[in-house]
Amino acid sequence: MIYEALQLAGILAFALSGALVGVRRNLDILGVVVVGAATGTGGGILRDILLGVHPPVSFLHWPNLVVAVAGSLVVFFVHPRLTRIRRFEVVFDAFGLGLFSANGAALALASGQAPITSVLVGTIAAIGGGVIRDVLVDTVPGVLTRELYAVSALLGAGLAVAVVALGGGVIAGSLVGGTTAIVLRLTSVARGWHLPRPKFAPETGKASPDAP
Amino acid sequence: MIYEALQLAGILAFALSGALVGVRRNLDILGVVVVGAATGTGGGILRDILLGVHPPVSFLHWPNLVVAVAGSLVVFFVHPRLTRIRRFEVVFDAFGLGLFSANGAALALASGQAPITSVLVGTIAAIGGGVIRDVLVDTVPGVLTRELYAVSALLGAGLAVAVVALGGGVIAGSLVGGTTAIVLRLTSVARGWHLPRPKFAPETGKASPDAP
Amino acid sequence: MIYEALQLAGILAFALSGALVGVRRNLDILGVVVVGAATGTGGGILRDILLGVHPPVSFLHWPNLVVAVAGSLVVFFVHPRLTRIRRFEVVFDAFGLGLFSANGAALALASGQAPITSVLVGTIAAIGGGVIRDVLVDTVPGVLTRELYAVSALLGAGLAVAVVALGGGVIAGSLVGGTTAIVLRLTSVARGWHLPRPKFAPETGKASPDAP
């Protein structure tokens, strides 16, 4: 039951982040629900497709969908002013990221996958929902540009696998890995930590456009 | 045989809508065929991946591909003037939406999936082709922004499942659900029906840009 | 072993092309690695999902991931000047395209798939990595716009299937199809070969914007 609660908490956090993006983009109520539900359940669906679980759990297990849709509806009706929405997006996204990475990895290992597979599946589950959200609203996904985003997911998944491999159980692994990922991600945002960028000669310091 | 015809009609309708978008974007002949074929077969491929059908039917059953490619080629050579293309896109897209949502849902239920799974799989099959088309040409998918788009798909899939569950058969379910979805979608376009959008204080009525 | 080397060469070529795009877009070191690894392994992961291989080979077989990550890191630290990056992108992308299309198709046929399925799976494996790369960085995928891109992939996959069907073996098929695809693609770039575009009345010669 704790495990189920962690799972639903991750879905809710991502659904809230997706619905907030939908509100910011001025989508209608169903557009907000579609982005929210796709963000909340998308990472888990990707995980299930990769592991060969048919149909994906979220297509069968109605609480997942109810949580994602209800969270999106709440955001549609009750949301912060436009200028403050981004802050909430980042926080909910960080919670989704941590919960999914650790949980997905711990679960994959416990179900008999190899450690490397488990870490990768957890990471994909964590970043997948956000990538779906960002591709849907036609933005470069945050995983490519945000502070320590993928690092946090990898670390959370890796720690969770380590805890489970050492006999700590899925729930302990999810909590240790998830908390670490959330704290690292939010700290990196607060402090503005970035990884190094490529070096160019002075006149080319900006990204070039994509004209062919 | 009626069932097969409905399936191919849905593929053709989506392929035409995809190829029209390709023509409007001035892609070359193969670009038009690739967008058309991906739009026509994409929803069904997603459905098969979710249900664990390997390889997806469209990779094995050549009529699906022939219909999608032939429809795209026809559009490349014979298409309306640029200013009128959008109208045709919307109509063909609505037919694809209705046929796929009802058909996919009825088929999933008849093959033993749970009702909720069937409705979701039908909806994904219906909106999947259009999402692939819109993401490929770098636009926000219509499912997030167009009039009653996802509502029509959900309703079509739901009605189809209801008809099949009440003993009406897959073909009756496909026809009832599909017709309803097409009529609802096209009426919503003609009347400009929209679902409500989020409310903001006056000075923030427009969607904000995505600058980080 | 030759087969394994061809596989890794394809992954490396696509990873280099993806990482170069990441550098051009000024992503940080992990963003570059994520785009590079997703581009290098993405086509094969799509192939495995379509064929029902769970989990995809790249999630289990560490050399695939090591090659993709190492290649991306090399690009991050040692890359051409911005004005010359595109040329390298195109060349590495062509090698990935050729190796993946022929290899994927030959392998699918040898594992018992139908010829049409094998050609399509090879083509998807070849263009999939590039589509993932281009969608991630928010560009219209090259498969829709670049010179003879999809033609080269289809031809490479078709030739590979023909060679294997005639008893030539997977390695011979991969080499013949792959070389042909690479040569055709690079020649089409050098000569500026394009397939025909749709014809419009004079005042509408340009692609229209996507405003609704």
Contacts of C45 in chain A (CB under 8 A): 50
B47 CA: distance to closest CA in chain A (Å): 10
Q: What percent of chain A has pLDDT over 70?
A: 94
Whether B203 is covered by a domain: the verdict is: no
Contacts of B81 in chain C (CB under 8 A): 200-201, 204
C-beta separation of B49 from A49 below 8 A? yes
pLDDT score of A173 more than 60: yes
C-beta separation of C51 from C108 below 8 A? yes
Per-residue pLDDT tens over the stretch C155-185: 999 999 999 999 888 899 999 999 999 999 9
C163 CA: distance to closest CA in chain A (Å): 31
Q: Say whether B144 and A135 touch across the interface (CB within 8 A).
A: no
A6 confidence band (pLDDT: 50, 70, 90): confident
C43 CA: distance to closest CA in chain A (Å): 14
pLDDT score of A112 more than 70: yes
In this prediction, residue A199 carries a pLDDT of 77
A142 confidence band (pLDDT: 50, 70, 90): confident
Interface size B-C, in CB pairs within 8 Å, comes to 88
In this prediction, residue B210 carries a pLDDT of 44
Per-residue pLDDT tens over the stretch A16-55: 999 999 998 888 888 899 999 999 999 999 888 888 888 8
Whether A127 is covered by a domain: the verdict is: yes
C202 CA: distance to closest CA in chain B (Å): 11
pLDDT score of B203 more than 70: no
**Cα separation, B147 vs B185, whole angstroms:** 7
> Which burial class, exposed, middle or buried, applies to B109 when counting CB atoms under 10 A from its CB (0-12, 13-18, 19+)?
buried
C-beta separation of A26 from B198 below 8 A? yes
B66 confidence band (pLDDT: 50, 70, 90): very high
Whether C209 is covered by a domain: the verdict is: no
**For residue B199, what is the nearest residue in chain A, using CA coordinates?**
A77
Contacts of A25 in chain B (CB under 8 A): 140, 144, 207
Interface size A-B, in CB pairs within 8 Å, comes to 88
Looking at A83-92, B61-70, C40-49, which range is the least confident one?
A83-92
B158: left (phi over 0), alpha (psi -120 to 50) or beta: alpha
Whether B210 is covered by a domain: the verdict is: no
In this prediction, residue C25 carries a pLDDT of 87
Distances (CA, A) of C66 to B136, B149, C41, C88: 29, 43, 11, 21
In this prediction, residue B211 carries a pLDDT of 39
Q: Say whether C207 and B30 touch across the interface (CB within 8 A).
A: no
In this prediction, residue A39 carries a pLDDT of 93
**Cα separation, A79 vs A64, whole angstroms:** 22
Whether C148 is covered by a domain: the verdict is: yes
pLDDT score of A119 more than 80: yes
Interfacial residues of A (vs C; Cβ cutoff 8 Å): 49-52, 113-114, 116-117, 120-121, 131, 135, 138-141, 143-145, 148-151, 194-198, 200-201, 204, 206-208, 210, 212
Q: Say whether A140 and C139 touch across the interface (CB within 8 A).
A: no
**For residue A133, what is the nearest residue in chain C, using CA coordinates?**
C136
Q: Say whether A140 and C145 touch across the interface (CB within 8 A).
A: no
A208 confidence band (pLDDT: 50, 70, 90): very low
Total domain count for chain A? 1
Whether C203 is covered by a domain: the verdict is: no
Per-residue pLDDT tens over the stretch B135-191: 888 777 777 777 788 889 999 999 999 999 998 888 999 999 999 999 999 998 888
Q: Say whether C32 and A198 touch across the interface (CB within 8 A).
A: yes
**Cα separation, C18 vs C34, whole angstroms:** 9
ipTM, two decimals: 0.77
**For residue B59, what is the nearest residue in chain C, using CA coordinates?**
C117
Contacts of C23 in chain A (CB under 8 A): 198
Which two tokens mark B179? 């017709």
Whether B34 is covered by a domain: the verdict is: yes
B200 CA: distance to closest CA in chain A (Å): 7
Q: Say whether B195 and A139 touch across the interface (CB within 8 A).
A: no
From A52, A139, A201, residue closest to C138, measured CB to CB: A139
Interface test mutation site (partner B, options A54, A133, A210, max chain B beta carbons within 10 A): A54
Average pLDDT over residues C102-122: 90
Whether B207 is covered by a domain: the verdict is: no
The larger pLDDT score, comparing residue B49 to residue B84, is at B49
Average pLDDT over residues C100-128: 90
Question: In terms of Cα–Cα distance, which of B178, B200, B165 is closest to B104?
Answer: B178
The larger pLDDT score, comparing residue B206 to residue B98, is at B98
B140: left (phi over 0), alpha (psi -120 to 50) or beta: beta
Q: Say whether A34 and B144 touch across the interface (CB within 8 A).
A: yes
Looking at A100-104, A116-120, B198-202, C132-136, which range is the least confident one?
B198-202
At C6 the three-state DSSP class reads: helix
In this prediction, residue C203 carries a pLDDT of 41
C37 CA: distance to closest CA in chain B (Å): 21
Average pLDDT over residues C26-41: 90
The whole domain housing B57 covers: 2-194
From C54, C79, C145, residue closest to A198, measured CB to CB: C79
In this prediction, residue A7 carries a pLDDT of 87
In this prediction, residue C85 carries a pLDDT of 82
From B117, B144, B198, residue closest to A35, measured CB to CB: B144
Cα A79 off chain centre by? 20
Q: Say whether B145 and A54 touch across the interface (CB within 8 A).
A: no
